[in-house]
Amino acid sequence: MTKQPTTLPPEPEPDPDRALLPIGAEPAQHPEHQHALDATGLACPLPILRAKKALAVLVSGDTLQVITTDRGAIRDFQAFCKQTGNTLLKQIEEPGRVVHYILRR
């Protein structure tokens, strides 16, 4: 009598939003946004200048998503929003980048 190998069920596909999170942590919730700006690879002050230009054409209440790779952009966007009166809704640190959400005043 030969023993049949047991077949295991397939592994579930990994969820990319949870792949790098500690066990038990929930993925960051990204706010809804109407406009996006990719400022990856740009160093200070370019991400702020591009965001300022993008915000200038938005209407009040619109949300701009800005993706940056410059680590200094976290503080830069906090100061920028405080100075301009726009609301910094959220900053989400992800591996290799930070995603900022700015609500146009």
CA Rg, the chain, in Å?
20
44 is catalytic: yes
DSSP symbol at 36 = E
Name the active-site residue from 33, 35, 44, 67.
Answer: 44
Structure tokens at 21: 């999170």
Question: Is the bond preceding residue 45 a cis peptide, omega within 30 degrees?
Answer: yes
| Active site amino acids | 44
